[in-house]
Chain A
Amino acid sequence: NAGVTQTPKFRVLKTGQSMTLLCAQDMNHEYMYWYRQDPGMGLRLIHYSVGEGTTAKGEVPDGYNVSRLKKQNFLLGLESAAPSQTSVYFCASSPLGTRDTGELFFGEGSRLTVL
């Protein structure tokens, strides 16, 4: 039961470097999300997607880009990493439907450090 898988789990970057976080889900969920978690601030939504080929901005989208070329994958990109982007990143997915609660199924998180 893979569920939601994030890669990589850990990464250290230098300021200005770029990288991509990959999220894959095998539950055929329509919705996918990227959150960042910082101490004392809970989880904040970066970007989300309601289906293949569609993305939208969340609460804190600046400095990030996303793509959803395939339904099962949601990529989060940092074009020019900054120390303020040091965080733990969570990917999540949820089904779409009027009977669904909207419960999120989370990946295990990716810890990113920008020096």
Chain B
Amino acid sequence: AQKITQTQPGMFVQEKEAVTLDCTYDTSDQSYGLFWYKQPSSGEMIFLIYQGSYDEQNATEGRYSLNFQKARKSANLVISASQLGDSAMYFCAMRWFSGGYNKLIFGAGTRLAVHP
């Protein structure tokens, strides 16, 4: 069965430093996608970055990059030059295609606190 694991309930980082949020996944499918979403204290879910299982290059979006290690089944999010506005919950998610449908599950999340 598919599974997403985020082992860090909370992380903190100094402003302007880089931080890595861990995500491991489990699937027997060859075709899947991995996402990261940000949830600030206001509650909305904000899409950050996507990595397809067949993508050879790690995805990048501005200060966000996804460190995709397929053999280890990990999809860690790297935030460079942290800002105070990066303080939020971060969720890793996996999408796969099964039974004719796209399905998507989330990890439990990591709460990031950026300190000045």
- Residues of chain A touching chain B, judged by Cβ–Cβ distance below 8 Å, are 31, 33, 35, 40-45, 48, 50, 56, 59, 88, 90, 92, 94, 96, 101-106, 108-109
Q: Report the number of A-B residue pairs with Cβ-Cβ less than 8 Å.
A: 57
Other contacts beyond A42-B106, A45-B104: 16, CB < 8 A: A31-B102, A35-B106, A42-B4, A42-B6, A42-B107, A42-B109, A43-B106, A48-B101, A48-B103, A50-B100, A50-B101, A101-B52, A102-B95, A104-B47, A104-B93, A108-B44
- Residues of chain B touching chain A, judged by Cβ–Cβ distance below 8 Å, are 4, 6, 9, 33, 35, 43-45, 47, 50, 52, 91, 93, 95, 100-109
- Given the known inter-chain contacts A42-B91, A106-B44, please indicate yes or no for A101 contacting B105, CB distance below 8 A: no
A residues in contact with B102, CB < 8 Å: 31, 50, 94, 96, 102
